[in-house]
């Protein structure tokens, strides 16, 4: 079971593990109705065993969520640790393969390669740790992959778009082989997406299988990767 809540485009997902315990992915503002719902689902927070912050730059609601569920283990990226060192972070970071092993029975993770996870320019929000919830066939993704329903009257001709974040060209590592590394990661993402039925994307919307009137999610991701090829080719012309 996964449910999303949104504020200013940030998102959070509540995931029930096979053990019955709950994990929260990311943080957002929580209104009273949502707080009561989480309380009912989690025995007043007792069943929330961990909070995993997956996007280095989505930090607005980190502290308030921890204050709401202080007994949950707190995980974040290297930037979370640096930005809020006073919080009781677990030593493992959400980009670490060792952390991914802990949750592997319920969640799969993917960290983009060939790009900076935490660029010096803090306006570049391409990279995040993507999370796959196996039981619900859902991808939780912040910024790296965008899903956007289009407004009227554009929607008469095209309902929605799925794209890689437009800052890709600016976060590719400035070295030979970075574009090839990203392509290899993107191919893995496509393969891991073949069974997906839902996508929860930050800043836009959730694409739920029962509501999807367009291409399958894997076809959308394949198209998004193809559309980025020009940026990868341009990078190779510069860096090799």
Q: Is pLDDT of 5 > 50?
A: no
Per-residue model confidence as pLDDT tens digits over 188-233: 999 999 999 999 998 877 888 888 888 999 999 999 999 999 999 9
Q: In what order do the strands lie in the sheet with 198-201?
A: 107-110, 130-133, 138-141, 198-201, 206-207
Question: Strand 107-110 relative to strand 73-75: parallel, antiparallel, unpaired?
Answer: unpaired
pLDDT reported for residue 30: 87
pLDDT reported for residue 22: 98
Q: Is pLDDT of 158 > 60?
A: yes
pLDDT reported for residue 9: 59
Distances (CA, A) of 138 to 47, 130, 206: 21, 11, 10
Residue 160 belongs to domain spanning: 2-239
- Host H or E run for residue 139: strand 138-141
Strand partners, 238: none
Instruction: Tell me what the mean pLDDT of segment 149-175 comes to.
Output: 84
Reduced to 3 states (helix: H, G, I; strand: E, B; else coil), residue 202 is: coil
Q: Is pLDDT of 116 > 80?
A: yes
Domain count of the chain? 1
Q: What angle do CA 161, 136, 45 make, to 5 degrees?
A: 110
Per-residue model confidence as pLDDT tens digits over 82-91: 999 999 999 9
**Is residue 53 within 8 Å of residue 61, measured between CB atoms?**
no
Residue 228, burial from CB neighbour count under 10 angstroms (0-12, 13-18, 19+): buried
229's tokens:
């090829």
DSSP-derived secondary structure for 21-90: -EEEES-----HHHHHHHHHHHTTTTTEEEEE---TT--TTHHHHHHHSTTSEEE--HHHHHH-TTS-B-
Residue 82 — φ and ψ, nearest 5°? -75, -40
Instruction: Tell me what the mean pLDDT of segment 68-92 comes to.
Output: 97
**Is residue 25 within 8 Å of residue 17, measured between CB atoms?**
no
Which CATH number belongs to the domain containing residue 171 in this structure? Answer: 3.60.15.10
Q: How many CA atoms lie within 13 A of 37 on its CB side?
A: 11
Residue 150 DSSP label: P
pLDDT reported for residue 29: 86
Give the CA radius of gyration of the chain: 18
């Amino acid at each position: 079971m996964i449910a999303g809540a949104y504020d200013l485009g940030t998102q959070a997902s509540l995931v029930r593990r096979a053990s019955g315990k709950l994990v929260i992915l990311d943080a957002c503002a929580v209104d009273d109705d949502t707080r009561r719902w989480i309380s009912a689902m989690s025995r007043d927070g007792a069943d929330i065993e961990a909070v995993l912050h997956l996007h280095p730059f989505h930090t607005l609601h980190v502290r308030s969520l921890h204050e709401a569920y202080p007994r949950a283990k707190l995980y974040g990226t290297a930037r979370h640790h640096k930005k809020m060192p006073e919080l009781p972070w677990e030593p493992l970071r959400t980009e670490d393969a060792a952390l991914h092993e802990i949750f592997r029975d319920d969640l799969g993770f993917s960290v983009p390669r060939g790009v900076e996870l935490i660029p010096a320019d803090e306006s570049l929000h391409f990279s995040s740790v993507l999370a796959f919830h196996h039981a619900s066939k859902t991808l939780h993704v912040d910024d790296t992959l965008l899903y956007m329903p289009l407004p009227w009257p554009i929607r008469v001709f095209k309902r929605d778009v799925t794209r890689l974040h437009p800052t890709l060209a600016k976060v590719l590592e400035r070295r030979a082989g970075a574009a090839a590394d990203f392509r290899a990661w993107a191919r893995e993402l496509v393969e891991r997406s073949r069974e997906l039925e839902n996508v929860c994307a930050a800043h836009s919307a959730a694409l739920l299988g029962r509501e999807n009137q367009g291409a399958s999610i894997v076809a959308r991701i394949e198209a998004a990767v193809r559309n980025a090829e020009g940026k990868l080719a341009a990078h190779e012309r510069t860096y090799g």
